[in-house]
Amino acid sequence: MQGVIIKGIGGLYFVKVKDMIIECKARGKFRYAGLTPVIGDKVEIMLEVDESKGVIEKILIRDNEMIRPAVANVTQAFVVFAFKQPDLNMDLLNKFLVLCEFYRLKIVLCLNKLDLVEEVNEALIKELKSVGCDLVFLKAKEGQGLGELKTRIKDNITVFCGPSGVGKSTILNSLLGREAMKTGDISKKSQKGKHTTRHSELIEYEEGFLLDTPGFSALSLDFIDKEELQHCFPEFEKHRCGCRFSNCMHYKEPNCRVKEAVEANEIYTDRYKFYIKTLEEIIARGNRK
Ligand code: GDP
Ligand code: ZN
């Protein structure tokens, strides 16, 4: 039978099969092949005689795989940022968006702490929409906007991501009605992190799964190939075929349709600048190798 690993502790894996959770060990062959089962893995298991425990026989091919936290087959990201406290940092937001695109995740951009601003910056909202973001405004502390998120959970494995202090834990805990992620000020959290080893877990909710640990703890985009980077900018997509060179990186090449689209304000200049900055970092890293 097939199931999904929702938790793993000390070589034991908890596999959700229909309405049951079955404690499983993994076959030794995985270890020899250098393959470790991770949460999110779809697995084929065989029950032991007494049927309360099982053995993982096969790990199905992963759609994607993240490290720190180690999780497979994530389909969606709730990218959380605050309007204020901390201020919305576009560079950081773009980094998260690029990472989500790299892993081919559906993105729900959650803009929290709406209660702290007098009015919403419309230009900013327009820019975010141009990138194709599904936007949800929240006042998580007051529980506002959570319903919007609830409707997007079904059939997904969703990871929360975003900087510290924006309200990720507040949102997750309010959805679940219990403390699954630690809230509070940053210093308290990092202290806690030093002394405890966290096992990330998938929590079943609204016919989907939520990861109880924020995603993308390492924010470097360095590992992305320079040719791959442009595919993490969805708004470039429809212009790319107009470039003179089929392998155009929209950098120093002539007759580049993407650059023309930037000139014509069809692509936001800031997003293009962020693309070039990141591309140059990736190229510089390549040269160092
Ligand atoms: P995390 O680091 O992203 O998990 O953020 P937390 O959920 O721990 O929240 C950080 C701080 O922001 C806490 O003091 C929360 O009470 C506060 N907070 C969360 N949501 C809101 C909100 O909608 N409005 C305001 N004003 N504060 C919020
Ligand atoms: Zn081009």
Q: Residue 279 is part of a domain; what is its CATH number?
A: 1.10.40.50
Residue nearest to atom 25 of ligand 1 (CA): 113
Query: Which of 183, 185, 191 to mutate to test ligand 1, by most ligand atoms within 8 A of the CB atom?
Result: 183
Please tell me whether residues 78 and 134 are part of one structural domain. yes
Residue 120 alpha carbon to ligand 1 centre in Å: 18
Please tell me whether residues 181 and 279 are part of one structural domain. no
Q: In the prediction, which pLDDT does 51 show?
A: 80
What dihedral angle (degrees, nearest 10) is formed by the CA atoms of 194, 97, 81, 221?
A: 30
Please tell me whether residues 186 and 92 are part of one structural domain. yes
Please tell me whether residues 158 and 122 are part of one structural domain. yes
Residue nearest to atom 17 of ligand 1 (CA): 167
CB atoms within 10 A of CB 270: 12
Please tell me whether residues 156 and 188 are part of one structural domain. yes
Residues with CB under 5 A from ligand 2 (ion): 243, 248, 250, 256, 258
Residue 57 alpha carbon to ligand 2 centre in Å: 47
Q: How many domains does the chain have?
A: 3
Q: In the prediction, which pLDDT does 31 show?
A: 87
Quote the mean pLDDT of the chain.
93
The yes-or-no verdict on residue 111 having pLDDT over 80 is yes
Q: Give the C-alpha separation, 205 to 222, whole Å.
A: 34
Asked if 98 and 90 touch (Cβ cutoff 8 Å), the reply is no
From the CA of 189, which ligand is nearest?
1
**Of 183, 172, 171, 220, which is closest to residue 67 (Cα–Cα)?**
220
The yes-or-no verdict on residue 286 having pLDDT over 90 is no
Q: What value does the mean pLDDT take over residues 107-112?
A: 98
Query: Which of 85, 96, 136, 141 to mutate to test ligand 1, by most ligand atoms within 8 A of the CB atom?
Result: 141
Residue 229 alpha carbon to ligand 2 centre in Å: 13
Q: What is the pTM of this model?
A: 0.94
For helices 90-102 and 269-288, what crossing angle results, to 10°? Answer: 70
Q: Give the C-alpha separation, 225 to 255, whole Å.
A: 23
Structural domain span for residue 6? 2-61
The sign one gets for the Cα dihedral 161, 167, 171, 176 is: positive
Q: Report yes or no on 217 lying in a domain.
A: no
Residue 236 alpha carbon to ligand 2 centre in Å: 9
Point out the domain boundary residue: 41, 61, 81. Answer: 61
Q: What value does the mean pLDDT take over residues 214-225?
A: 88
Q: Give the C-alpha separation, 188 to 233, whole Å.
A: 36
Q: Report yes or no on 219 lying in a domain.
A: no
